[in-house]
Structure 1
Amino acid sequence: MTNKHLMLVDGMALLFRSFYATAVNNYFMINSKGTPTNALFGFVKHLFAAKDQFNPTHIICCWDMEGPTHRAKLFPDYKANRSEAPIELLPQFSLVKELVSSLDIPNVGIKGYEADDCIGTIVDELSNDTKITVVTGDKDLLQIINHNTSVAILKKGIGNYDVFTVDKFVEDYGIFPSQFSDVKALMGDSSDNYPGVMGIGEKTALKLIKEFNSIDGLLENLDKLTKGQKTKIEKDLKSLELSRVLAKIHNQVPIEYNLEHSELKIDKNKALTMFEELEFKGLDKIIS
């Protein structure tokens, strides 16, 4: 085990959280160039709050990319219920990556996959000998927790997190993190718009996985279920198998990154130049 501590940032989670925290009051921080910067400003504050709290030695920021993902190719309705991004957010998508680069933090993403998959791949490759903290708003990432990897779920406000280790996850859910994707497959996900098994919610899904350990174990023991549970699962077997693939984070994504290039070495002058270009006020103290 090295002394390295990698913080993996779910970039879109921070960006969207920052945007909607102020957009509800139509506060978009439009600068003299006509560019909204509210999401960017909040992103910086979230990023530095996480850096100060978790004290990483290295940081990588992972992103969803434009275009269909492998999940959408399997299930065209995947995330199809989500509305288009607000017009004020659109120019901030590209600018946020420039902002991250100005902090000498690598941006990682690959078309066809989600940030979750990139994060899962890095965790799979590095967590044997590197401490990792994942900062996100997405509970799907709880499935990648291991003894060297914790997941910090963003809470309301800046600098507030629900930090899940293996022990906390087991205490809260009664199963192991690696079993969580099977729970999600059974219950479905209205946010990601995949169905699961109609009529089975989180409470029942957790109970079934606790009892039978996995969907495979469950399917081998259908006769032990109540009549209602058995009927629901048999009726939605195809949906369950599809949801199982959609719920599972893909941890073999062909991404390119270099841990050594992610060492935390922020050039204050370079960062301040970017802040000045964006016309940010009051952020110079957070990088001093």
Structure 2
Amino acid sequence: MAVKAKAADKVKVKKEWKDKKSLLIVDVSAVMRSNFIKLQSEGEALFKGKFARQPLSYEVNGEEMNTSAMYGLFRLFSTFGLDHDYVFCFDTPNNLLKKIDENYKANRVKMGSEYFDQVNTCYKILEESGYRVLAESGFEADHMVHQAVDDNYKFYDVIGVITNDHDLSCLVDEKVSWLNVLKTRPDITIDNYPEINKCPYNSILLKKATVGDKSDNIAGIRNFGEKKFFKFIDEEGLYGTDIYGNEEDIIKNAVTLTDDQKEQALAALDLIYPYEVSVDARAKTEINKMVIKEFLKKYGMNSLVKLFE
């Protein structure tokens, strides 16, 4: 069962980061997927009844366009404010990880043109407005997020990664916070990392490589649950050690794993561990407010226009 957020488990970005040089790195797919609602035909709407969620839409160039996911993304400017720099990280087609394992994320809901039209539009709007937008063919947004944290780390007092991908909580430290796209779910900081991730600090990727991850359809080690994971951490003497970045060596040298188990964990790690990308991920600080205002007006998001006045 998902953990509901307590007040103490949400980072109060507007208040706590007010006098700090701050950067927000956005996992665009996580945000837009969580806000996407499919347009319904009259028959579908009638069948689902009056309580069905209705998507936002707006007439653009004479045609009705679904804008639910777009609004969810641009609403971040209202939620978190404009006192931070932003970097936006996009997924791309032809996922290279699918070539390693065709079952990777095979259980995800397939998104159609109604969603991807919004993604492509957001990419264009953000790029033309001067924001740093990151995408590299075959790679996922989380690879871009890792690069963005690395490239910007020394320039900022605090960094927030906006996502719902728990793999990215491996980046959490004294400076980096993991900010859940859902307001009702906890954020992750260095203080609550073990409680929310249910594993020792900096061990989330090792946990997923051994236990597996149903959300991404990653098997891990057969019949290796959370209890066995904690026993593994204990027997290998890993408490209080630097686990993140050393997962491969830990698995290969594990005394308590069989060769078959090591092979299964390393195969999972190939799908989990971040790939290096060749992009300039440094945040841009000069934003053309005139351009983004005109785009927001074009897509009927007048409530957000005033933010850029």
Query: TM above 0.5, one fold?
Result: yes
Relative to structure 1, the CA distance from residue 49 to residue 203 in structure 2 (aligned partners, 3 Å threshold; closer, same or farther) is farther
Shift of 1:155: 2.0
Identity of aligned residues (%): 21
Q: Which one-letter code corresponds to 2:88 in the other structure?
A: C
What does 1:105-184 align with in structure 2 at a 5 Å threshold?
105-130=131-156, 131-156=158-183, 162-170=186-194, 172=196, 173-177=198-202, 179-184=203-208
Whole-angstrom CA distance in 1 between matches of 2:109 and 2:138? 20
Shift of 1:87: 4.0
Unaligned runs of 5+ in 1: 223-229
Relative to structure 2, which stretch is displaced further, 145-154 or 18-27? Answer: 18-27
Q: Which has the higher helix share?
A: 1
Whole-angstrom CA distance in 2 between matches of 1:183 and 1:74? 20
Matched with 1:80 is: 106
SS class of match (2:214): coil
Task: State the Cα RMSD in Å.
Answer: 2.8
Q: Which one-letter code corresponds to 1:7 in the other structure?
A: L
Whole-angstrom CA distance in 1 between matches of 2:38 and 2:153? 33
Asked if the contact 1:175–1:210 (Cα under 8 Å) also holds between the matched residues in 2, the reply is no
Which of the residues 37, 40, 44 maps onto 2:74? 44
Which of the residues 255, 263, 280 maps onto 2:285? 263
Shift of 1:273: 1.1
Matched with 2:55 is: 27
SS class of match (2:64): coil
Asked if the contact 1:14–1:46 (Cα under 8 Å) also holds between the matched residues in 2, the reply is no
SS class of match (2:24): strand
Whole-angstrom CA distance in 1 between matches of 2:235 and 2:288? 49
Matched with 2:4 is: none
Matched with 1:97 is: 123
Shift of 1:16: 0.9
Alignment of 1:190 onto 2:214: yes
Provide, for residues 138-185 of structure 1, a one-character-per-residue CA deviation record: whole Å limited to 9, x for no partner: 1110011122211112224xxx663322232145445122x2101011
Alignment of 1:254 onto 2:278: yes
Q: Which one-letter code corresponds to 1:25 in the other structure?
A: R
Which of the residues 208, 221, 227 maps onto 2:255? 221
Whole-angstrom CA distance in 1 between matches of 2:293 and 2:152? 32
Question: Scaled by the length of structure 2, what TM-score is found?
Answer: 0.75
SS class of match (1:88): helix
Whole-angstrom CA distance in 2 between matches of 1:79 and 1:181? 17
Question: Scaled by the length of structure 1, what TM-score is found?
Answer: 0.80
Whole-angstrom CA distance in 2 between matches of 1:96 and 1:129? 26
Relative to structure 1, the CA distance from residue 236 to residue 221 in structure 2 (aligned partners, 3 Å threshold; closer, same or farther) is closer
Whole-angstrom CA distance in 2 between matches of 1:170 and 1:16? 27
Matched with 1:243 is: 268
SS class of match (1:272): helix
Shift of 1:35: 1.9
Relative to structure 1, the CA distance from residue 286 to residue 126 in structure 2 (aligned partners, 3 Å threshold; closer, same or farther) is closer
Shift of 1:48: 3.0
Provide, for residues 225-273 of structure 1, a one-character-per-residue CA deviation record: whole Å limited to 9, x for no partner: xxxxx6xx655442211001212223x32112343xx116451x32221
- How many residue pairs match? The answer is 265
